[in-house]
Amino acid sequence: MKQSLIFIILLFCIQCGKDLSPFGGEPEVNTLKPRLKPEWPNPTWKVVSPESVGVSSDKLKLVEEYAFTRTGDETDRKGRRTDSLVILRNGKLIYEKYARNFSEDKVHLTWSVSKSILQTMYGIAVKQGLVKLDDPGYYHYEPLSRDEAHKKITIRHLLNMSSGLAAEEGYESGPLKSSVIAMLYTRGRKDMGSFCAGLPIRSEPGTQVYYSSCDTNILSAILKKVYGAEEYDKLPFEKIFKPLGITNVTFERDGSGTYVGSSYLYMTAKDLAKIGYLYLNDGIWNGERLLPEGWVQFTRTPAPGYKSTPYSEDLAEDNYTAHWYANTGVPERGIHEPWPDAPKDTFAGLGHWGQMLYVIPSLDLIIVRFGDDREKAFIKNDFLKLVKESVIR
């Protein structure tokens, strides 16, 4: 009894030391400056020496060492297991390496980086005037009209991961009740959008950020209704991949033919870098505006729902924006930058088991890293620190 009392008091004291309060105002997101001389990869990237664009080759070796040195047991899939690493500066390729039987021509599963490209599809749809960010989802997609609470969910809420739907985004940690596993592999696989729209509401839409693959697949199902099945099938290929010169790509669908926007896009590292380059250039490709004005600003701004999301330790792990991640922190909610040693304007598309697309406007850098990390051995901040330190001017 005495022992447990001491334990409780100790636990209380440990909690007392933590500052759980907000420490500043709103996150700072400056508008991207227009780039003066963007270089378009036609059909592929121009290769130059790192030094010619102000990057140290010697320092890049440390980046390579970090990424490609196996630190764990391969059969148990432990440690850092990098498959591809591509780095671009000033629109030119300065580093490219592959491992574990991957090569420049092989596509790699991007897992949740797919979400960030699904968001690109929304940019296109908004620019075409087919959807508005504040449209309630049910305007376009009937399963969201099941009751008044579901009718409040807008496209913006879904893009901000703030639908309020009671999803459980656990993979290996809690497979039994995980709605993402049920969605991908069992009860939801036939029609993921309708499975997800059927989840009950946990909080007022727009008020709380909760990362959920369900939000993405509802968005994907909405787009199918907006465009019609035939046009929707061609949408990513015709409107995104073709203009960017991406031909080697696979986008898998669920049992009803809806793109699994949450998880199943396959691309090569250099092609994914093109998506990063589109965002680095504020949605303009080869002089043509593909994404609406303000879209990249929306992409880099932390989800407004953070203001009222109850504080938890997990919140500090990411600054979710609109299907991308930012490095701004959310000071008004007590959330620091997730990668303190990377520039504050870094933004990213990130996926399960170590898939990463980083865009760093202030350093004019794009980094794509693919891997198969089954444990948290690849520390994003350590890796980004090394990349940042390789820049000499």
Partner 1 sequence: MKRKISVILSLLFLFILFWAQWNWKHLSSFPSIISSFYSKEYCSCYFVMELSEEQCHDFARQWVPISEFKLDKENKSVTVKGLGRTNTTKYLSKEYGCTLATD
Residues that bind partner 1 (CB under 8 A): 75, 77, 100-101, 106-109, 175-177, 181-182, 184-187, 189-190, 237, 249-255, 264, 266, 372
3-state secondary structure of 386: helix
Q: How far apart are CA 217 and CA 223, in angstroms?
A: 10
CA gyration radius for the chain?
Answer: 21
Residue 99 vs 149, nearer CB to partner 1: 99
Residue 50 vs 188, nearer CB to partner 1: 188
Least distance (Å) between residue 189 CB and partner 1: 5
Distances in whole angstroms, Cα of residue 171 to Cα of each of 53, 126, 192, 348, 366: 41, 32, 16, 21, 29
3-state secondary structure of 25: coil
Closest CA to 303 of 340, 275, 328, 339: 328
Question: What is the spatial order of strands in the sheet that 265-267 belongs to?
Answer: 108-109, 265-267, 250-251
Please report where in the chains the tokens 């290769």 appear, as a residue: 47
The answer to whether 220 and 260 have CB atoms below 8 angstroms apart is yes
Chain-centre distance for alpha carbon 393: 28
Residue 68 vs 264, nearer CB to partner 1: 264
Determine the residue type at 228: G
Least distance (Å) between residue 260 CB and partner 1: 9
Least distance (Å) between residue 100 CB and partner 1: 7
Residue 33 vs 177, nearer CB to partner 1: 177
Least distance (Å) between residue 356 CB and partner 1: 17
Least distance (Å) between residue 182 CB and partner 1: 6
Residue 109 vs 342, nearer CB to partner 1: 109
Least distance (Å) between residue 65 CB and partner 1: 24
Token pair listed for 378: 């690849």
Residue 216 vs 258, nearer CB to partner 1: 258
